[in-house]
C-alpha cells in the first residue's frame, strides 16, 4: 500500500531524513517511535505530501507522491491524518466538521456526508455531541471526532502523529481504544506514538528512528524481544 524507497530530505544543510526505506502492506499497523527530533513527524508527512522531499520515491497504492502527473489533493483526501492537536475547525459544529471535507473535496451531498459523518461519530461514541462546537468537548473527545472525520473520507490508510501526547492521562485510553478497534478491523495505519501498550497490542511492525534514519524496522516481537540496536534499547529503557 505504501512504499518508501531511499527517501532523504534536507532543511538547508540539515539532513532531516536519510535514506528511509520501508513498506506498509494493506492491513499493516506500523508503529513509528524514536527520540524527539528524530524525524518521525517528517517521515509520515512525506507519505501524504505534506512534507516534500528531495531524494527517493514514495508510492501510495501505486500512485507516485509528488510526481507532476499525480493529483496530490485527490491522493491526500484518501489518506487520513490525525495530529497531536486535534485540528478541528473551532467555528464549525461537530456535524459541520464531519461533513465539510466530504462535500468540498469528495463532492458528496450534504445529506450523504451527514449520514456518513454521523455514522462514524456514533462509532466513536459521540453522536450525542453532534451539535456542539469543538471547544465544548474534552481533548479526548475532540481527538475522537478528528478520527471520525478522517474515516468519513473513506481513507485507504490512516496516519497518526502522536495522537494522544497532548491529552490528559485519563483521556488517552478512550482514543487508543478507537485506534485499537480500527487496527483490528484491518485499517492500514502508520502511527507515531510512544504508547508501547498500543504497539504491543496491535502493531505488526515497529519502526525505530534516530537522527533521521530508520534504525530498526522489524516485527513487534523482534522489537520488544531483542531490540537489536543499542539506541533502540536505550530508548525503550527510558520510556518503559
Residues that bind Mg ion (CB under 5 A): 41
Q: Which is nearer to ligand ADP, 11 or 128 (CB)?
A: 11
Closest CA to 196 of 167, 169, 161, 220: 220
Closest CA to 51 of 38, 36, 41: 41
Q: How far is the CB of 235 from ligand ADP (least distance, A)?
A: 12
Instruction: Render the burial of 67-96: b for 16+ CB within 10 Å, e for the rest.
Output: eeeeeeeebbbbbbbbbbebebeeeebbbb
Is 96 one of the binding residues for ligand ADP (CB under 6 A)? no
Q: How far is the CB of 120 from Mg ion (least distance, A)?
A: 26
HEC profile of 63-110: EECCCCCCCHHHHHHCEEEECCCCCCCCCCCHHHHHHHHHHHCCCCCH
Is 37 one of the binding residues for ligand ADP (CB under 6 A)? yes
Is 11 one of the binding residues for ligand ADP (CB under 6 A)? yes
The residue number whose beta carbon is nearest to Mg ion equals 41
Q: How far is the CB of 32 from ligand ADP (least distance, A)?
A: 8
Q: Which residue of 7, 30, 31, 39 would you call a contact of ligand ADP, by CB under 6 A?
A: 39
Is 9 one of the binding residues for ligand ADP (CB under 6 A)? no
* β-strands 63-64, 157-161 pairing: unpaired
Diameter over CA atoms, the chain: 54
Q: Where are the beta strands (DSSP E) in 139-196?
A: 157-161, 189-192
- Say which entry of Mg ion, ligand ADP, none residue 36 contacts (CB below 5 to 8 A, set by partner kind): ligand ADP
Is 36 one of the binding residues for ligand ADP (CB under 6 A)? yes
Which range of residues in 37-45, 53-61, 135-143, 226-234 is near ligand ADP by CB under 6 A?
37-45
Contact positions toward ligand ADP, by CB under 6 A?
11, 14, 16, 34, 36-42
Amino acid at each position: 500500500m505504501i512504499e518508501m524507497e531511499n527517501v532523504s530530505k534536507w532543511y538547508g544543510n540539515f539532513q532531516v531524513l536519510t535514506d528511509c526505506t520501508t513498506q506498509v502492506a494493506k492491513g499493516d499497523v506500523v508503529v513509528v517511535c524514536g527520540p524527539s527530533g528524530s524525524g518521525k513527524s517528517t517521515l509520515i508527512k512525506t507519505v501524504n505530501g505534506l512534507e516534500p522531499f528531495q531524494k527517493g520515491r514514495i508510492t501510495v497504492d501505486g500512485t507516485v507522491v509528488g510526481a507532476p502527473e499525480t493529483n496530490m489533493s485527490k491522493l491526500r483526501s484518501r489518506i487520513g491524518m490525525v495530529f497531536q492537536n486535534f485540528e478541528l475547525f473551532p467555528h464549525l459544529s461537530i456535524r459541520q466538521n464531519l461533513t465539510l471535507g466530504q462535500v468540498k473535496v469528495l463532492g458528496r451531498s450534504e445529506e450523504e456526508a451527514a449520514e456518513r459523518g454521523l455514522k462514524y461519530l456514533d462509532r466513536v461514541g459521540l453522536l450525542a455531541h453532534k451539535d456542539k462546537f469543538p471547544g465544548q468537548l474534552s481533548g479526548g473527545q475532540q481527538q475522537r471526532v478528528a478520527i471520525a472525520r478522517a474515516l468519513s473520507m473513506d481513507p485507504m490508510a490512516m496516519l497518526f502523529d502522536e495522537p494522544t501526547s497532548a491529552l490528559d492521562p485519563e483521556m488517552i485510553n478512550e482514543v487508543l481504544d478507537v485506534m485499537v478497534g480500527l487496527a483490528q478491523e484491518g485499517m492500514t495505519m502508520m502511527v507515531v506514538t510512544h504508547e508501547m501498550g498500543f504497539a504491543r497490542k496491535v502493531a505488526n511492525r515497529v519502526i525505530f528512528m534516530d537522527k533521521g534514519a530508520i534504525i530498526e524496522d522489524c516485527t513487534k516481537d523482534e522489537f520488544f524481544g531483542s531490540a537489536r540496536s543499542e539506541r533502540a534499547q536505550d530508548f525503550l529503557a527510558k520510556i518503559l
